Structure 1
Amino acid sequence: MKPNNKILGILGGMGPRSTTPFLELVLDECQGQYNAILDEEFPEIIIYSLPTPFYLDREIDHQLMQETIIKGLKKLEANGVHSIAMPCNSAHIYIDDLQSAIDTKLFNIVEQTINQLPLDSKNVTLFATQTTFASNLYQKEILAKGHTFVFESNWQNLLTEIISGIKKDKNDPNNLLLWEQLLSEVKNKTDYIIIACTDLNVVMQHNYTQAHFIDSSLALAKALVQDYLDN
């Protein structure tokens, strides 16, 4: 039986290949959280795959980026969604202004991800785009929770190369080779790896380390479905 008639909104397209994996996570959460089986037991979901002026290799026009995202959020809001999930970490640089632009609830992926860390102090690192890393969104929250943030500059170079490779060709074997190299450098220096770039879902299933992954996409999907069930 369908729990309620709420319509969920997903603002995707950032990057384009991250939207479908996120939808799969939401559907998995519906099965896990309230045992949805029949087609009619899943929520109504409106997905807007929004092309945005985001670049890995050059400066982003932040005003244009923010205005573009707000247009997307307002399109979803105009269609009567109850809440919106935005599976893009970089877009959360503008989270306060984005939420102020709409009346619909917009989930904060950083907040939901940090909540997945254990209470006791751990060594934590961050896999993200250079834009997300430079924003310090995650680092300040990791430290505020009493954890130690661990990172080396060459890790970001590898991450940028991996993300760029996935965007060009997700099936390129070099993506996995670089991913294996990155994890080999990280494995003895950290306890938890926060995956704060949805494009990395393409390689994340290949885990060559004992460190624990915390997937920001999964944390966001959990929160979206939990809110859907909250009456």
Structure 2
Amino acid sequence: MPTSWLTALDWFGIAIFAVTGALVASRKRMDIFGFMLLGAATGIGGGSLRDVMLGQLPVFWVKEPASLVICLVVSAATFFLAHIPESRYRALLWLDAAGLALFCVVGADKALEAGTGGFIAVAMGVMSATFGGVIRDILGGESPLVLRKEIYVTAALAGAGAYVGLIGLGVSNAAATGTGFALCFTIRALALHYHWSLPVYRAREGRTVEEVEQLGQRPAKSQSGEGVDHG
């Protein structure tokens, strides 16, 4: 992907994720420094972990502080404008979906540029897209979206996989980027609209104390199926 395209997408995604972090801070009634902390952690958290895993040190925002500046400015602005959205949580989910779609593609692209294989590139795309939100939710005292039954990581996986697959087939960067973004955002948007979710593990019901005691009182059986006479 051309550097100008990558930089523009990266900054836009960082700004969106910074807003989601700031909106969590608004729901928790934090001060302006809390807004900036959550905004920065959300905006650059996933990309920082990606760069560390890829050995790209120092991480991107240390090389180019503009990313950190964007987080701080956007978060501070949200401190004064967070009252505008009619539903902050709803706005958070939709902005998060847009950031998810952007970062799954950008993260996969940066991994490919670092020389990784397709499988690792997809994994880095998912990591870039989800871990900023994990940090945001933990700092905000909320259950991370990735640990809920909502379709979230699946959407990022589909978007990153589509991008990497199309690049491998020789499709242009612009088309692959658009397809990966659209696929991830569409899946996440449909899940939000129709309340789709993945099946969750359901533990089997355990035996009651009475059932266990009855099992212990039953006579042992021989191989022929007859009860053993202990008399």
> Structure 1 length as normaliser, TM-score?
0.32
Q: Is the helix fraction higher in 1 or 2?
A: 2
Between structure 1 and structure 2, the one with the greater Rg is 2
Question: Which protein, 1 or 2, shows the higher relative CO under an 8 Å CA cutoff with sep ≥ 6?
Answer: 1
